[in-house]
Amino acid sequence: MRTNRDLGKLLREIGAFLEMEGVAFKPRAYEKAAIAIEAMEEPVATPHQKGGAKLVATVPGVGKSIADKIVEFLETGRVDYLEAKRREHPVDLLGLTAIEGVGAKTVGALYDALGIQNLAALEEAAKAGKIRGIKGFGEKSEQEILQGLEFLKKEPGRFPLGEVLPIAKALESRLGELSQVDKVTLAGSILRRKETIGDADFIVVSSHPDAVMDFFVSMPEVAHVYGKGSTKANIRLENGLDVDLRVVPKQSYGAALNYFTGSKAHNVHLRRIAQSKGYKLNEYGLFDKNGDVIAGRTEKELYAALGLPFIPPEMREDRGEIELAYDGKLPKLIPYGKLKGDLQTQTNWSDGQHSIEEMARAAMKRGLEYIAITDHTIELAMTGLDERRLSEQMTEIRKIDRRTKGIRLLAGAEVNILKDGSLDIGDELLSKLDVVGVTVHSNLHLDRKEMTERICRAIRNPQVDILFHPTGRVILKREPYQVDMEEVIRVAKETGTLLEVDAIPDRLDLNDEHVKMAIDAGVKLVIDSDAHATAHFDILDLGVATARRGWATSKDVMNTLPVERFLKQLKRSHAHRAS
DNA sequence: GCCGTTTTCGGCCCGACTGTTTTCAGTCG
C-alpha cells in the first residue's frame, strides 16, 4: 500500500534510524514531514501526479530531499535510503520502540551491547538479567522493559479500531462492486466498534461464491492465504490484519450476520432465549422443533422472532442489553453524524497543523455549527501558549469569528493541570474564555490517591467546563493514569463538569465502560475530535461509536445541542445566573 | 533536512521526569 499513512510510517522509521545514529535535527525534520503528510486531506499521490516532486515539496515540512524520497516510494514502493539504513542497523526499530520508554537510542545501545534485534531477543535478555549489565542501564530499566513487553503482549495482533475501520470499509466497497456479490456486510467486532480489533469479518451473499473467493484471495495486498473453500476463506493482509470472508445463502444472511457479529456472550444469551421457546438458533437461522425456518433473513426478523426489538451492534456485549430490550427499555443511542459542535481542536498557535481559519472551514465542511479552539497552554514548554499569547489568540478568534459566516468559533484552551491540581493559566483570563478544558500532561505516574485529588481539585475550579481525555490512556501503548474514576465522576456530577470522550483513534478516552459509569451517575459528556489538522474532524464518529458502546443517548452528549443551548449548560453559565 | 518581515547560512519547540549517575542521557509530550 502506498497511502499517506504508510508514507508517514516510513518517514518516521527513517527519522528513528537517524535518531539512533545520533544525527542532529534531521530526525525532527523527518518526523515533522511525517506529521504533515499524515495530516493531508488528499493522498500525497495527487500532488505527485499533478506536479511531481516539485509540488510535493510545497507541503510544509517537506523539502527537496524528502520530496524525492516520497516520489521514489510512490513510484517504486520502496526507498533506497531507508533500505540502506535497515541493512546497516538490522533491528526491528519500529517494533522495539513501540515499548513505552524505549527510544531509538536505547535500541542502538541494546544492539551494540548484546546484538538485540527484535522483541523476542530483548525479552530473553531481560529475563536472563543481562540488560542491567549494560552501561547506563540498571535493574529498574530492565524491569521497565519487561513491563513494557508484557503490556504489548496483552493483546497480540490487535489493532486500534480507527486504524482498521477505513481499511475494512474500503474492502467492503471493493467487494460490493463485484457483479457476483449481491450483498456484503462488515460483521464482527468492527461492526460492534470495539476499540481494538483482532480480525475483520465479512458476510457475503452471492450466487457465484467461487468467483468471489477467487477475487478475495488474489487481491494485491494479500500476504498469506490460510484457507479457501466455497463458503469460507481466511487471509492475512500485508499490514498484518487477518480477514475472514463467509458466503451465506440469502435466507441465512441475518442469522449469519448476527452469529459472526457476536459478541459471543450476547449470542449465547440469545441462544438460551431461543431454547426456552423451543427453538434452535445457529448461523443459518432460527428453527422450530421440526427444523422449519422461523427467521434468519434479516437480523431484525431474527430478534423479533425472539420477542426482542433490534439491538444495535455496539450494545451487544451481554451487559444487560437483552434484559432492557425485553422490557422495551433500550436507550435510543446517539446517532452517527449528528454532532453540532467540537470542543477540542488545536491550531498552529500550538501543536496543530493548520490555522484557526482553516480549521473553521474544515469543520464547516463537515457540517459542524461550532468549534472551540483549544490550544495547549504554557506548561507544555514546546508548544504551549502563555497568558499573553492566549489572550492575543482570544482576540484573534473573536475577530475571525465575526467575519466568518456559517460557523461559530469559541475561544478556549486545553489548560494543564499541574502536579498539585492547580492550573497553568490564571482564573481571571480563564473567565474570559468561552470554554475551558483541562487535562493532565505531566507527572503521569502519581499514585492513585494523589492523582485523583489532583484531577478533582482541578475540576472543582468554577472556571473549568470540561475534563479532556480523563484517563490519559493510549490504546495498546500506555495504561491509564492511576486514578479513581468513580470519584472523578462523582465530583464531575457535584460540580457540573463535563467529561470528554476524545475520539483520537488510540485514545477513545473516556472508554465505553467509563461512559456508562458517567451516564449512570447523571454526568453529561462531550465528544471531541481533538483535531490537530483539518482532516481529523472525520474521526468524530469513532467517539460517537465509543459513546454508543457506553449506551449514550443524544441527551447525554452536550455537543448535540445548538451552540447557545450548549453554552447555557456550562457550569460557568450556571454560576453567572446564580450571581 | 527544512526554513527564512533573520533569506542561501545558521538556526532548529524545550522542560520534566526517570534512572543512571555525581552531571547526564534518553524519553516523552
CATH number of the domain to which A185 belongs: 3.30.460.10
Q: What pLDDT was estimated at residue A373?
A: 96
Which nt has its C1' nearest the CA of A19? B26
Residue A574, pLDDT > 80, answer no
Q: What pLDDT was estimated at residue A175?
A: 92
A326 within domain boundaries: no
Question: Could you report the per-residue pLDDT of A493-529, keeping only the tens digit for each?
Answer: 999 999 999 999 989 999 999 999 999 999 999 999 9
CA of A201 to C1' of B17 (A): 43
A102: left (phi over 0), alpha (psi -120 to 50) or beta: beta
Which nt has its C1' nearest the CA of A444? B17
Q: What pLDDT was estimated at residue A576?
A: 52
CA of A66 to C1' of B4 (A): 19
A121, A167: one domain: no
A336 within domain boundaries: no
A86 within domain boundaries: yes
A287 within domain boundaries: yes
A333 within domain boundaries: no
Higher pLDDT, A477 or A535: A535
A190, A172: one domain: yes
A425, A519: one domain: yes
Q: How large is the average pLDDT for residues A246-259?
A: 91
A459, A548: one domain: yes
Q: What share of chain A is helix, strand, coil (3-state, %, to 5)?
A: 50, 15, 35
CA of A378 to C1' of B1 (A): 28
Range with the lowest mean pLDDT among A117-131, A263-277, A373-387? A373-387
A79, A186: one domain: no
CA of A535 to C1' of B8 (A): 34
Q: What domain range is A280 assigned to?
A: 253-316
CA distance A382 to A379: 8
CATH number at residue A70: 1.10.150.110
Neighbours of A366 (CB within 10 A): 16
Over pLDDT 70: what percentage of chain A? Answer: 98
* Domain count of the fold of chain A: 4
Question: Could you report the per-residue pLDDT of A469-489, keeping only the tens digit for each?
Answer: 999 988 877 778 889 999 999
Q: What pLDDT was estimated at residue A577?
A: 45
A329 within domain boundaries: no
A358, A487: one domain: yes
A82, A146: one domain: yes
Q: What pLDDT was estimated at residue A147?
A: 86
CA distance A551 to A532: 28
CA of A355 to C1' of B4 (A): 19
Residue whose CA lies closest to nucleotide B16 C1': A442
CATH number at residue A310: 3.30.210.10
CA distance A272 to A278: 10
Residue whose CA lies closest to nucleotide B27 C1': A101
Over pLDDT 90: what percentage of chain A? Answer: 63
The pLDDT mean for chain A works out to 90
Place A256 in a pLDDT band, splitting at 50, 70 and 90.
very high
Residue A390, pLDDT > 70, answer yes
Q: Cis check for the bond before A263: say yes or no (omega within 30 of 0).
A: yes
Residue whose CA lies closest to nucleotide B11 C1': A25
Residue whose CA lies closest to nucleotide B12 C1': A25
A429, A308: one domain: no
Contacts (Cβ under 8 Å, ≥6 apart) of A560: A334, A338, A339, A340, A554
Q: How large is the average pLDDT for residues A9-33?
A: 90
Place A43 in a pLDDT band, splitting at 50, 70 and 90.
confident
Domain ends where: A227, A248, A269? Answer: A248
Place A575 in a pLDDT band, splitting at 50, 70 and 90.
low
A236, A265: one domain: no
Strands A370-373 and A408-416 come out as: parallel
A529, A421: one domain: yes
A42 within domain boundaries: yes
Residues forming beta bridges with residue A280, ordered by sequence position: A287
A538 within domain boundaries: yes
Q: What pLDDT was estimated at residue A379?
A: 66
Residues forming beta bridges with residue A151, ordered by sequence position: none
Residue whose CA lies closest to nucleotide B24 C1': A136
Helix (H) or strand (E) holding A436: strand A435-439
Place A188 in a pLDDT band, splitting at 50, 70 and 90.
very high
Q: How large is the average pLDDT for residues A65-84?
A: 94
CA of A79 to C1' of B9 (A): 29
State the DSSP string of A305-320. HTT-----GGGTTTSS
A471, A348: one domain: yes
- Write out which nucleotides of chain B lie closer than 7 A to a protein Cβ: 1-3, 11-21, 25-29
For residue A358 the three cell numbers come to 482553516
CA distance A341 to A435: 12
Domain ends where: A97, A130, A153? Answer: A153
Residue A579, pLDDT > 50, answer no
CA of A413 to C1' of B9 (A): 37
CATH number at residue A359: 3.20.20.140
Which nt has its C1' nearest the CA of A439? B29
For residue A103 the three cell numbers come to 527510544
Residue whose CA lies closest to nucleotide B17 C1': A443
Written as one letter, the residue type at A201 is D
CA of A15 to C1' of B10 (A): 22
Which nt has its C1' nearest the CA of A31? B1
Place A99 in a pLDDT band, splitting at 50, 70 and 90.
confident
A574: left (phi over 0), alpha (psi -120 to 50) or beta: alpha
Residue whose CA lies closest to nucleotide B28 C1': A101
Residue whose CA lies closest to nucleotide B15 C1': A381
Residue A578, pLDDT > 80, answer no
Domain ends where: A214, A248, A282? Answer: A248
Range with the lowest mean pLDDT among A167-171, A333-337, A368-372? A167-171
Q: What Rg do the C-alpha atoms of chain A give, in angstroms? A: 26
Q: What pLDDT was estimated at residue A380?
A: 58
A367, A494: one domain: yes
CA of A45 to C1' of B2 (A): 21
Which nt has its C1' nearest the CA of A137? B20
